[in-house]
Amino acid sequence: AIHRAAGPELLAECRTLHGCATGQAKITKGYKLPAKYVIHTPGPIWRGGGQGEDGLLASCYRSSLELAAEYGCKTVAFSAISTGVYRFPLERAAASILDGAPDNLQLILVDDGSADATPALCDKLAAGDRRVRAIHQKNGGASAARNAGLDAAAGEWVLFVDADDALLPGLW
């Protein structure tokens, strides 16, 4: 879906990257997307939790955020990496999200209403970590985050919690 929205130039640039290891991240231009960049990070396939999946997922977020900072990005939006077809348990993935984020950044979790467990998970994370604020907006996505008054200039990082992994990862 992201390649369709960005246009053929994105795929052409991706081919020059020569792949990306699980847990690492690479960046391309956003082309026709409303984002300046797209950060690509392959998440781990859930194999029961005994094969380093937690560390690899945390590395996905950490590597992506490092690239975002290197390129001067002020706002980043993620879907819940690996929780869709890769079957990473959403609640366990939440710990990886927080482990991968720097302490000096505000994390905004946007629950788009796509999964029954998501509102409770967002609230749990927000209650347990001073860096986290939860926003609940059914079918809202990135526009819900902007409408909630996020301040990109203040360096607020947006993590979309979406069990179906249906939101496009990347920057908006």
12-70 pLDDT per residue, tens: 999 999 999 999 999 999 898 877 888 899 999 999 999 999 999 989 988 988 888 88
pTM comes to 0.72
28-43 pLDDT per residue, tens: 998 988 778 888 999 9
- Count other C-beta atoms under 10 Å from residue 106's C-beta: 16
Q: Going by C-beta distance under 8 Å and a sequence separation of 6 or more, which residues neighbour residue 151?
A: none
